[in-house]
């Protein structure tokens, strides 16, 4: 638990696909290797950015097992085994820990929402299995996990902390009580870390500029933060992970294969991103080239 709480930069890693729409493990390993080289502390496997919601549980757990087998001595491995179905979350989390993951990422039941009492029961059930981050993302779940829910949960022996998307004031409130928080909003993460006392960030942006995000978490560097702000804003011009997928295809880091319902950014949006990415040195980007790409360059699989 102490090692996990010391992590300040955790990447919500992208899941790449081959031409058949299957998980491309060779490319996945290349992406992870670049995260390790940049000094990232850990990765979330099959999170929102990793499209866990588009993976079957068999694929999802295979990817966790593969990651543990390859990288357990190099990274903290967090498996996104949360679900809106308590029974599924319990089963997936037990399997993830059996495969050797260090921690789980757990979310409150979404879409078929329950009461706050039901959320508490759900999260207590999965916390019993092993160490877990609680993920509060009201924009996706439609339900804010407020302090009156989180504070009692924080006393559980397996509670690590919160991936918090409700802003830095909330993060500061928790941190003042000794509740560990990681920013879930890249554009707020620098201020959250250096002014509001967060433990760090669980990042989308570090998929493409991990070394710069490492610097951003480690040092007070206002100039770098300003340099990255426009990129971070653009990476969320459409619901995540559409833009980060498109970006890694534009830099040549992954093959140009989407799983539906995700589709590439428009040409106009890609031009905006191309202009932003062109301001970075190639060595700062994951991938070895930068191209605008044509609409016909992208393939879509169901």
Phi-psi region of 204 (alpha: psi -120 to 50; beta: other; left: phi over 0): alpha
Catalytic residue, chosen from 17, 28, 163, 174, is 163
Considering the candidates 17, 28, 71, 135, report the single residue annotated as catalytic. Answer: 135
- According to DSSP, residue 203 is labeled E
Residue 163 backbone dihedrals phi, psi, to 5 degrees: -90, 105
SS3 285: coil
Active-site residue, 91 included: no
Provide the token pair at 100.
Answer: 């050797």
Up-side HSE of residue 232: CA atoms within 13 Å toward CB?
Answer: 21
**Radius of gyration of the chain from its Cα atoms, rounded to whole angstroms:** 18
8 A C-beta contact, residue 43 and residue 70: no
What's the half-sphere exposure (Cβ side, CA atoms, 13 Å) at 251?
24
In sequence order, the 6+-apart residues with CB closer than 8 A to the CB of 187 are: 229, 232, 233, 236
CA distance 111 to 245: 25
- Whether 174 is catalytic is no
**Catalytically annotated residues:** 135, 163
């Amino acid at each position: 638990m102490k090692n996990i709480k010391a992590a300040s930069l955790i990447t919500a890693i992208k899941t790449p696909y081959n031409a058949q729409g299957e998980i491309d493990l060779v490319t996945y390993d290349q992406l992870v290797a670049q995260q390790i080289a940049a000094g990232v502390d850990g990765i979330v496997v099959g999170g929102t950015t990793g499209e866990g919601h588009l993976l079957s549980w068999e694929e999802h757990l295979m990817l966790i097992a593969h990651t543990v087998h390859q990288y357990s001595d190099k990274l903290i491995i967090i498996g996104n085994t949360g679900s809106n179905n308590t029974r599924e979350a319990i089963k997936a989390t037990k399997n993830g820990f059996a495969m050797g993951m260090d921690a789980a990422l757990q979310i409150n039941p979404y879409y078929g929402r329950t009461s706050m009492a039901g959320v508490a029961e759900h999260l207590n059930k999965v916390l019993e299995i092993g160490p877990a981050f609680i993920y509060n993302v009201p924009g996706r779940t439609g339900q804010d996990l407020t302090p009156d829910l989180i504070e009692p949960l924080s006393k559980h022996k397996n509670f690590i902390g919160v991936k918090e998307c409700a802003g830095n004031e909330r993060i500061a409130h928790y941190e003042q009580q000794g509740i560990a928080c990681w920013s879930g909003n890249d554009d707020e993460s620098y201020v959250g870390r250096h002014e509001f006392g967060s433990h760090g960030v669980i990042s989308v942006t570090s998929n493409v500029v991990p070394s710069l995000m490492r610097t951003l978490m480690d040092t007070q560097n206002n100039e770098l933060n300003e340099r990255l702000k426009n990129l971070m804003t653009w990476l969320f011009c459409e619901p995540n992970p559409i833009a980060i997928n498109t970006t890694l295809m534009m830099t040549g880091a992954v093959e140009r294969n989407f799983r539906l319902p995700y589709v590439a950014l428009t040409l106009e949006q890609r031009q905006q991103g191309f202009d932003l990415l062109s301001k970075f040195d190639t060595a700062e980007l994951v991938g070895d080239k930068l191209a605008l790409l044509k609409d016909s360059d992208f393939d879509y699989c169901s």
